[in-house]
Amino acid sequence: MARQWGMVVDLDRCTGCEACVVACHAENNIATVGEDQAARGRAMHWMRVERYWEGNFPNVRVTYRPVFCQQCGDAPCESVCPTYASYHNPEGLNAQIYNRCIGTRYCGNACPYNVRFFNFYNPVWDKPLNLQLNPDVSVRSVGIMEKCTFCIQRIKVAEFRAQAEKRPLKDEEFNPACVQSCPPKAMVFGDLDDPTSEVSRLAQSNRSTRLLEEVGTLPNVIYLRSVS
């Protein structure tokens, strides 16, 4: 059954608490790189919360925006990959096949959202921190590009379960880690091709926008702008 996974992020609910940032690290075995590498821009945050400052004191305001892979319908990262490591999966995800990746970093350059991260070194977990690793997610080695997968391991588990129980998969029965953790419920995940899903309903909102829409990437992440 064809699906188009997508997400709606309500910026009017987002409080910048960063629960999603740590949830993503914990779920996806993202390595911490340490201060020196972080200072060189090599920290790997598949999920980040951006903040935009406007105005001068005392008339300042801030807008938060969680940014992660926009799972583009027409993804610049896919067309530039010489080894087809970045490819479009049948459910509309911009998937990354680590075994094909040879680390050209073309995809990272092509991505207008800066959401692809390169492993400059082999990841290190000081023992026994390695025990925190999620066995459902592969650990990426040096020379590999990595990115948000919409927690494809959770999608697969839910699909297998639905299949085993011989019933259709309902998109509310599971969530990516960031969506699960979000305290103000700013994020909603689901099938954009299903007109009855919560995510489709929210995507119809008159507040709905897409990030850098004008670039023509057709993102499947929809932001609902904050009201003010």
Partner 1 sequence: MERRDFLKISAVSGATAALDACGKPERQLVRFIPETDLIPGIAVWRPSVCVMCPAGCGTTVRVMEGEAEVTRHGQLGLIKMGLAKKIEGNPDHPVNHGKLCPRGQSSLQVTYHPDRIRHPLKRVGARGAGEFQEVSWEAGIQELVTRLSAMDSAPAGQGLLIVARPVRGQRRVLLENFAKALGAPPPIFYQFYEDALLRRANALSFGHAQLPTFDLAHSNYVLCFGADFLGTWNSPVAQNVAYGEMRQGRPNVRGRLVQIEPRMSATGANADQWIAAPPGSEGLIALALAQVMLAENLRPASAAGQAGALIEGWATGLKDATPEKVERKTGVPAATLRRLARELAANPPAVVIIGDAPLAQSNGLFNALAVNALNALLGSVEQPGGLTFTPAPPGMAAAQGLPAQPTSAYASLRARLGLSKPAPPSPPQLLLLDGANPVYALPDAGVKEAIAKIPFIASFGNFVDETSVFADLILPDHTPLESWMDDVPESGSLEAVASLAPPTMKPLHHTRAMPDVLLEAAQKLGGSVSKSLPWTSYEEMLRSTYAPLQKEKGSIQASSTEEFWSAARKQGGWWSSEVVAPGQRPPTVGAAARAVQEAQFAGSAEEFPFFFLPYESQQFLDGALANLPWLQEMPEVLSTVMWGSWVEINPATASRLGIEQGDLVEVSSARGSVRAPALIFPGIAPDMVAMPAGQGHEQYTRYATGRGANPFKILASVVEPETGSLAWAATRVRIARVGKGKLALFGGSLREWPREFEKR
Interface residues toward partner 1, by CB under 8 A: 10, 12-13, 15-19, 21-23, 25-27, 32-35, 38-39, 41, 43, 45, 48-53, 55-58, 60-62, 64, 67, 112-114, 126-135, 177, 180-186, 212, 215, 227-228
Residue closer to partner 1 by CB (options 3, 220) is 220
In the complex, the smallest distance separating the C-beta of residue 4 from partner 1, rounded to whole angstroms, is 24
The DSSP symbol for 64 reads E
CA dihedral 83, 78, 28, 141 (to 10 degrees): 30
Residue closer to partner 1 by CB (options 3, 77) is 77
Residue closer to partner 1 by CB (options 212, 218) is 212
221-224/5-10 β-pairing:
parallel
Residue closer to partner 1 by CB (options 35, 165) is 35
Q: How many residues does the chain have?
A: 228
In the complex, the smallest distance separating the C-beta of residue 73 from partner 1, rounded to whole angstroms, is 19
In the complex, the smallest distance separating the C-beta of residue 172 from partner 1, rounded to whole angstroms, is 13
- Distance between CA atoms of 207 and 44, rounded to whole angstroms? 30
Residue closer to partner 1 by CB (options 10, 91) is 10
Residue closer to partner 1 by CB (options 82, 184) is 184
- Distance between CA atoms of 51 and 121, rounded to whole angstroms? 29
Rg (CA), the chain: 18
DSSP3 helix / strand / coil % (the chain, rounded to 5): 25, 20, 55
In the complex, the smallest distance separating the C-beta of residue 100 from partner 1, rounded to whole angstroms, is 25
- Distance between CA atoms of 168 and 160, rounded to whole angstroms? 11
- Distance between CA atoms of 203 and 11, rounded to whole angstroms? 13
In the complex, the smallest distance separating the C-beta of residue 90 from partner 1, rounded to whole angstroms, is 25
At 198, list the tokens.
Answer: 């919560």
In the complex, the smallest distance separating the C-beta of residue 124 from partner 1, rounded to whole angstroms, is 10
